Amino acid sequence: MRYVVIAMLVLIVASLGSALFYLVTDQSGSRRMVKALAIRVGLSLALFLFLMASYYFGLVPERL
| Over residues 6-32, mean pLDDT | 92
CB neighbour class for 15 (10 Å; exposed up to 12, middle 13-18, buried from 19): buried
Q: Tell me if residue 26 falls in helix, strand or coil.
A: coil
Mean pLDDT, rounded, of the chain: 91
pLDDT in tens, 38-54: 999 999 999 999 999 99
Helix (H) or strand (E) holding 60: none
Q: DSSP string of 18-62?
A: HHHHHHHH--S--SHHHHHHHHHHHHHHHHHHHHHHHHHTT-S-S
30 confidence band (pLDDT: 50, 70, 90): confident
Give the model's confidence band at 64: pLDDT under 50 very low, under 70 low, under 90 confident, else very high.
Answer: low
Q: What is the pLDDT of residue 52?
A: 94
